[in-house]
Structure 1
Amino acid sequence: MAVTATRTRQKSSSSKSIRVESRSSASVLHLLIAVSGIYTSFLTWAVLQERISTTSYGPNNRVFRASLVINTIQSFCAAIVGYIYTRYTSSSTKESSAIFPNRKVIFQYALVATTSSLASPFGYASLKHIDYLTLLLGKSCKLLPVMALHVLIFRKKYTWSKYFVVFAVTVGVSLFTLYHPSSSKKAAQATSSSSLYGLLLLAINLLFDGLTNSTQDHIFHTQPTINGPKMMCGINVAATVLTSVFLLTPISGQLEDALEFFQLYPQVLYDILLFSLCGAIGQVFIFFTLSKFGSLTLVTVTVTRKMMSMLLSVVWFNHKLTPGQWAGVVMVFGGVGAEALMKYFEKKSRVGKDAVSRKAD
């Protein structure tokens, strides 16, 4: 009887181990799919964003400045893709596919839509005072506001390795900005105070981005019926309504300017539509990552994606970097890479402890 009981426990332990390894393999596969989707979609998205926001159209060399129009078209496309994504992943019951299940979630969607809609204009406005590469590297500092808001608002605690990543990324961005070549066109046109003003606008953009990511995480924890597809659709519907209402007010003035620009230079409209489609597909993978792995994993993935976008921008648009700027790039990559390596060893250590515990049982 004792031998039979022992064999039964061994079989049970073995089946548990197989299930844990299976879940771990599935988790790694899901993360690889998510990372591949984010990289492919947003590397294309980044090239189109730089083309739309910094390059000129037509013989008069006009630059498209109606950032809210870009946001509205992008959120509208993302809402449609998000709805299709929701219908595909939800069951046929009305309750399970409800995008707005209660009033509280409507308010939360509206809050995220507001912060994300406010973030983008500050990012585009900063491009008048800093170049696109500085914007991309600065966006890599999103880890800092996300962590700060998690600690201050949601009382979350982090390991020392997380703070090391934030320090490395911040120092890297500082080096990149400090060693900006003075011979570049942007530096020749902008004064030192103008560049500082651009960094201030970028800091506001990062603050709103951080609030957006933290609130999204909070929604997942407080609304059990909400998943990635539903959140994607709901937030983009709220953002489309919000920005459309503002565009129709006399205060904006961007809608008329955009329509005139589209008539004169239709190429920009095609670029914006392709840009929005890439963003919408990318959001599918972003919300999938957010719901499966949380906001810090998502931010780590998007930070490395921004770094790849920056390197692609250097090659695609023939930008030149100084040795000091390359040192900043290495600091950012090194910080994020070290954090990923530490997470890998922590997870491996936990798996080893679980295996020892199962053998002891």
Structure 2
Amino acid sequence: MATGEEIAPALQDTWGDFWLFRFFVNAAGYASIVVPGFLLIQYFKRRNYLETGRGICFPVIKSCVFGSEVKSVHQDDGSLPPRAEPPESSTARQVFKLFFCAAGLQASYLTWGVLQERVMTRTYGATEADPGEKFKDSQFLVFMNRILAFTVAGLYCALTKQPRHGAPMYKYSFASLSNILSSWCQYEALKYISFPTQVLAKASKVIPVMMMGKLVSRKSYEYWEYLTAALISVGVSMFLLSSAPNRTVSTVTTFSGIVLLAGYIIFDSFTSNWQDALFTYKMSPVQMMFGVNVFSCLFTVGSLVEQGALLESLHFMARHSEFTAHAVLLSVCSACGQLFIFYTINQFGAAVFTIIMTLRQAFAILLSCLIYGHTVTVVGGLGIAVVFMALFLRVYARSRMKKRSKKLPLGETPVQKV
């Protein structure tokens, strides 16, 4: 995977390849679908179509625009299925399940991280006479990931019993659009920054998630959540300020990477909070995965076709079989990783899942440094340690809070909110 000539982050060859221009072109493609859809939704609501509509299209329009409008009383009832904790399950069996979940998550997302960096930072088809060419269209990779995730989620919903769906389908489009943009920023950022920097930025997204939670869901947080968020900020700052790359990077390039990382964090924070709000409808996580990816496929393929980029990317795949293998494996790892997420949380809860994924981030940094030769200074290493110490502290504090809340009488709060 490490073969190929590394391309130093720099300004793109033409203004048409610059990330800001591509962002607005992609956004225009999404708008060409979103705006007509919004006008249709408003038209059906103004006509009171739910009461007056008839015909063969009525069930489809009802599902997309109105849904059943039945929400669960408790948000937690729809967000996650009850954890499977059969009393007859032996310790050895539980240990095996835990190892299976941890191995599946690590294999899926570590492979995904290595491939992501390979696809976005190395060339394909390089020979002694030809420097090769680099794949530039991040949106096509997003489309590849979403089409496979949509297929897997659809098959899972068709083959297993799921809760009766009640959410209007159009509400998935908001999470889908922010998810597409966050993924695009994530891929695009690797053209300007190192993978370890991106991983640490992901770890620090707890801060904007909390801020977005206050804005979108009016949430309140405990004092230890603010403390760990501050520690994460300190650790990330130590890493970024102490990094000493072995190549000269322009100010514009560095600024581009920072802006794209900020875009990724903001869009991803909105996605998680909007999905959390959608779970007030009774649905399973796989139904959420299916609904979001339906719109993701629609938005990305529409934008790619309008730009003529779909055929161009397919031609690139035809020219480079190695890229085809990497893109397909990237999508498989992404889809399988999502299924492992649902299974792990179902079997062991969110705390165990968070620990596994935190370890995965640390392993991803180590693996990237070993394969692609990234250097980390002593102060930068201490910054990484501070970040992961804060993440583990969050897991520990959250588990303690849950245990205390279960022991307290009804109506008594364990800790003052801040």
The gaps in structure 2 that reach 5 residues or longer are: 1-84, 410-418
Alignment equivalent of 2:372, drawn from 290, 303, 317 = 317
Secondary structure class of the residue paired with 2:204: helix
The alpha carbon displacement at 1:74 in A equals 0.8
Matches within 5 A, 1:116-265: 116-182=179-245, 184-185=246-247, 188=248, 190-220=249-279, 222-224=280-282, 226-250=283-307, 253-265=308-320
2:337 is matched with 282
The answer to whether the 8 Å contact 1:217/1:290 transfers is no
Counterparts of 1:348 and 1:174, CA distance in 2: 33
Deviation string 1:270-307 (CA, Å, 9 cap, x unpaired) is 11101100100111133456789999987776454333
Counterparts of 2:373 and 2:190, CA distance in 1: 18
The alpha carbon displacement at 1:331 in A equals 1.0
The alpha carbon displacement at 1:232 in A equals 1.1
The alpha carbon displacement at 1:78 in A equals 0.6
Q: How many residues align?
A: 318
The alpha carbon displacement at 1:32 in A equals 7.4
The answer to whether the 8 Å contact 2:185/2:260 transfers is yes
The answer to whether the 8 Å contact 2:235/2:386 transfers is yes
2:146 is matched with 75
Counterparts of 2:168 and 2:370, CA distance in 1: 43
The gaps in structure 1 that reach 5 residues or longer are: 1-19, 355-361
> Aligned AA for 1:144?
I
Counterparts of 1:335 and 1:181, CA distance in 2: 24
Counterparts of 1:172 and 1:149, CA distance in 2: 21
Counterparts of 1:289 and 1:158, CA distance in 2: 25
Q: What is the TM-score when the length of structure 1 is the normalising length?
A: 0.78
> Aligned AA for 1:123?
Q
Cα pair distance change 1:88/1:309, threshold 3 Å = farther
Deviation string 1:171-215 (CA, Å, 9 cap, x unpaired) is 222111111114x23xx1x22342123111110111000011111
> Aligned AA for 1:200?
V
Counterparts of 1:214 and 1:290, CA distance in 2: 18
Cα pair distance change 1:174/1:121, threshold 3 Å = same
The answer to whether the 8 Å contact 2:109/2:334 transfers is yes
The alignment-based identity, stated in percent, is 29
> Aligned AA for 1:213?
S
2:175 is matched with 112
Secondary structure class of the residue paired with 1:122: helix
> Aligned AA for 1:168?
L
Structure whose residues are more often helix by fraction: 1
Cα pair distance change 1:273/1:263, threshold 3 Å = same
Cα pair distance change 1:81/1:168, threshold 3 Å = same
Q: What is the TM-score when the length of structure 2 is the normalising length?
A: 0.68
The answer to whether the 8 Å contact 1:140/1:307 transfers is no
Deviation string 1:128-169 (CA, Å, 9 cap, x unpaired) is 322222112111122112111111221111111111221122
1:342 is matched with 397
1:272 is matched with 327
Cα pair distance change 1:294/1:21, threshold 3 Å = closer
Matches within 5 A, 1:7-18: none
How well do the aligned residues superpose, as a CA RMSD in angstroms? 3.1
The answer to whether the 8 Å contact 1:142/1:299 transfers is no
The alpha carbon displacement at 1:45 in A equals 1.0
